[in-house]
Amino acid sequence: MIVTATPNFGYIFDTWTGCDAPSGNSCTMTMDTNKTVTANFRVLPQLPDLVVENVSILTPVLLRNEKTTVKAVIRNRGSAKAKKFSVSLFKNLVAPPSAASRGDAQKTVSSLEAGASADIEFTISYKQDGLYKLWVLADSRNEIKESIEDNNYGPLNGVSINVGFMWGFGITHPESLIPDCETGSTDNFSKI
């Protein structure tokens, strides 16, 4: 049997007591007799905890120089108000951004109450065809002392952006060769 410990707001998982095989906030138990297992939590210090809760892109398949909107939801999961902080967007990183990194675009959030969220919008475009990975980093200038400092980026695996390639099949469509959408013709596409 697997038990997962999920902390309430203002708490963080700490340790297991009586667990056969603990692994982070999960506990695997072999139920061959009556057993007692306890998930132990601790109170988070009265600090903000800024996380990127969601990132969405209006158009994940783009033409070169075509603009699109990226929306990010930043939430303060901590137990105290966050004062002014920066949010950065990174248009092309292979791995998550490191703390105190400046991205390709920045926005400022004046403050964020504990438990509240802020919607941030960026407008971006790409000059070259290719497959890109996009990330958003809250508190990108490391201005806020937080209860948890290593969870400020999102989403977990980045967002894939496809510029100039149709649906990843290696077929490109330069701006002058857009297919006739009414007939569904794809005659003007060229293979890379």
Distances in Å between the Cα of 191 and the Cα atoms of 36, 169, 172, 177 are 62, 9, 6, 12
pLDDT for residue 3 is more than 90: yes
Q: Residue 50's pLDDT is what? A: 96
pLDDT for residue 182 is more than 60: no
Which CATH superfamily includes the segment(s) 50-164?
Answer: Immunoglobulins (2.60.40.10)
Domain boundaries, the chain: 2-43, 50-164
Taking only the tens place, the pLDDT of each residue in 115-151 is 999 999 999 999 999 999 999 999 999 999 998 888 9
Q: What is the pTM of this model?
A: 0.65
Please count the helices (runs of H) and the strands (runs of E) in the chain: 0, 16
Taking only the tens place, the pLDDT of each residue in 23-74 is 999 999 999 999 999 999 988 778 999 999 999 998 888 999 999 999 999 9
More confident residue, 164 or 74: 74
Q: Residue 37's pLDDT is what? A: 95
pLDDT for residue 187 is more than 80: no
Rounded average pLDDT over 178-191: 41
Tell how strand 153-163 and strand 61-62 pair up: parallel
Q: Residue 28's pLDDT is what? A: 95
